[in-house]
Structure 1
Amino acid sequence: MIEKGDYIVYIDESGDHGLKNIDPNYPIFVLTFCCFKIPEYIDIAVPALQKFKFKYFGHDQIILHETDIRKNKDPFQFLRTSKDLRSNFLSDLSNIIEKTPFIIVPIVIDKSKLKTKYAQPFNPYHLGLRFGLEKLNEVLLRKDQVEKEIYLICEKRGRKEDKDLELEFLRICKKDEQFGYKQTDFEEMTYRLLLADKKSNSSGLQLADLTARPVGLHYLKPSQPNRAYDIINSKIYRYKIFP
C-alpha cells in the first residue's frame, strides 16, 4: 500500500485557456498550485474560512469566488451597501490568506505570445499543468515526499475538457515521457488527479481561486499597486512564465 503524503494540492485558474478569441485586456491564462501541509490545512485553513463565513453570512454554505466578490455579485451584493463593510470583509479575508501557511506555484501562460511563437501551440491548460507539476515536484522533493501519494484537486470544467485533462495528466506522469530538453521523473511521487464539482465547498479550492487573478494582474501590470499580490508574494515558489 502506498504511503499517504503529508501534503494536499489545490489548483485553480484565472482567465480562459482558449486561443481563438483572446481578450486583449487579459490575454493570459494562469494556474496556481496551492500546496498545504495536511495538518495545517485541517487545523488552520478550514476553520478560519468557516469562522469567516459564519461571521458574514450566518452559515457556511457560501462558496468564495474572486470574480463574484470583486463584482459584488450574488451572494456578495450586500458589500455594495457600505464601504466600511466591504473594507472589513476584504481585510478579514486577506488576513486569512496571509496567516494560513501554504506554498503557491504560479504558472502564467501568455496566450498572445504563445500563438505568435508556435504555429500549432499547445493547450494553455495542459501547458500550465505540466509546468506546475514540474515545479511542484521540486517542492515535494524538498519536503521528503518521495514514494508518497499526493492528491491534486481541481474543478471540473466539462465532460470533454475533464477527459482531455485526465489523459494529459496521465501522459505527463509517464516515466518515459519527455517534454523539450528537460526531463522530470514524476514517478518519484505517486500523483493522483481528483476533479471536484464546481459546487464543492472546498476551502482549498476557494483559497486557490483567490490567488490566481492577483498573479495574473501582477504579470500584466507589475508597477500597478496590487495588495492581493503583495499578501501572497511571500508564499510563491518560482514564478513560471511561458513562453
Structure 2
Amino acid sequence: MEDDDKQLSLFDTGANNSNSVKLQPKVKPDKSTPFSKYVVYVDESGDHGLQNIDDKNSLKKQSDIESNPYHMALGFCLEELYDFLVEKNQHEKKTHIVVECRGKKEDAELELSFRRVCDGRNRLGLTLPFEVIFSDKKVMSSGLQLADLVARPIGLSVLRPNQINRAFDALKKKFYCDGGRDHLGENYFGKGLKIYPLPDSEKPR
C-alpha cells in the first residue's frame, strides 16, 4: 500500500461451514474496474469480515503497550471474532485461524502472541477456543487472497475518507456490527472495523 503510515491486518478465520454456498456474480463486471467482480461477489454474500488498522506512527510514541502492530491486530481480531461466535452460539466450538507465513522467527513470535491471547490475556479475560494454522505463501488460500483484496479499499477509507470508494461502500455491509443483521453497514466502528490508536477526532472529550 502506498500509504505506509498504517499497518493493515486481516486474518482469515478458516472455519469450515457445511451450509455455505459459493455465490456467483449475477452482474457482468466492468472490465475497466478489476475490483468490480469481487465487489459483486461480496455484495451477494452474507459473510462478515474483521478488519483492524493500526497507526504505526502513533504506536511508536507509546511505550506502555506492545508496539508490534501485527500482533496487536491479531489480538483485536481474535477478541471481536469471539464476540461474533457468541452471537451465533458457536463459541464453544474450535475455530482455526489461518495466517500467512512470514519467516521462522516472525511466525514463532506471532504464535506466542496468539497463544497468550487465547490463554486469557485479552480484554474479555477468557480462554478463547482458537487454533492457529500457518499457511505457506505458495499455497493458494482463498481466505488469505480475500484478505489481501479487501485490505486496500478498507485502509483507504481511513487514510482518504473524502475519496470516492465504491468498494468500501459494498464491503462495510459485511462488517460485524452491533445490532446484528438488521443494522448491516451501521455501528461497525470498533467492532468489525477497529482503528488503534483512535484518531484524535474519535477520542472522548
TM-score by length of 2: 0.77
Asked if 2 retains the 8 angstrom alpha-carbon contact of 1:34 and 1:102, the reply is: no
Shift of 1:86: 3.5
Aligned residues, how many?
179
Partner of 2:130: 191
Asked if 2 retains the 8 angstrom alpha-carbon contact of 1:34 and 1:103, the reply is: no
- Per-residue deviation, residues 101-131 of structure 1 (Å, max 9, x unmatched): 2111111100111112337752111100111
2:148 aligned with 1:209: yes
Higher share of residues assigned helix: 1
Partner of 1:139: 84
Letter in 1 for 2:165: N
- Over 3 Å counting, the alpha-carbon distance change for 1:115 and 1:191 in structure 2 is same
Q: Any residues of structure 2 matched to 1:160-239 within 5 Å, and which?
A: 160-175=105-120, 177=121, 182-187=123-128, 190-237=129-176, 238=191, 239=193
Structure 1 Cα separation of the partners of residues 38 and 171 of structure 2: 12
Asked if 2 retains the 8 angstrom alpha-carbon contact of 1:97 and 1:207, the reply is: no
- Per-residue deviation, residues 76-120 of structure 1 (Å, max 9, x unmatched): xxxxxxxx6333x43222211222221111111001111123377
Partner of 1:95: 40
Q: Any residues of structure 2 matched to 1:1-243 within 5 Å, and which?
A: 25-34=3-12, 38-39=17-18, 41=20, 43-44=21-22, 48=24, 85-87=31-33, 89-118=34-63, 121-175=66-120, 177=121, 182-187=123-128, 190-237=129-176, 238=191, 239-243=193-197
- Over 3 Å counting, the alpha-carbon distance change for 1:191 and 1:121 in structure 2 is closer
- Over 3 Å counting, the alpha-carbon distance change for 1:235 and 1:40 in structure 2 is farther
Higher share of residues assigned strand: 1
Asked if 1 retains the 8 angstrom alpha-carbon contact of 2:9 and 2:51, the reply is: yes
- Over 3 Å counting, the alpha-carbon distance change for 1:30 and 1:184 in structure 2 is farther
TM-score by length of 1: 0.66
- Per-residue deviation, residues 217-237 of structure 1 (Å, max 9, x unmatched): 111111111111111010112
Letter in 2 for 1:150: T
SS of the equivalent of 1:225 reads coil
Letter in 1 for 2:106: E
Give unpaired runs (5+ residues) of structure 1: 1-14, 16-22, 50-83
* RMSD over equivalenced CA pairs, Å: 2.6
Q: Which has the higher contact order (CA 8 A, sep 6+)?
A: 1
Letter in 2 for 1:197: D
Structure 2 Cα separation of the partners of residues 234 and 93 of structure 1: 14
Structure 2 Cα separation of the partners of residues 32 and 132 of structure 1: 8
- Per-residue deviation, residues 11-50 of structure 1 (Å, max 9, x unmatched): xxxx6xxxxxxx8x33001112455772355x316xx49x
Asked if 1 retains the 8 angstrom alpha-carbon contact of 2:5 and 2:55, the reply is: yes
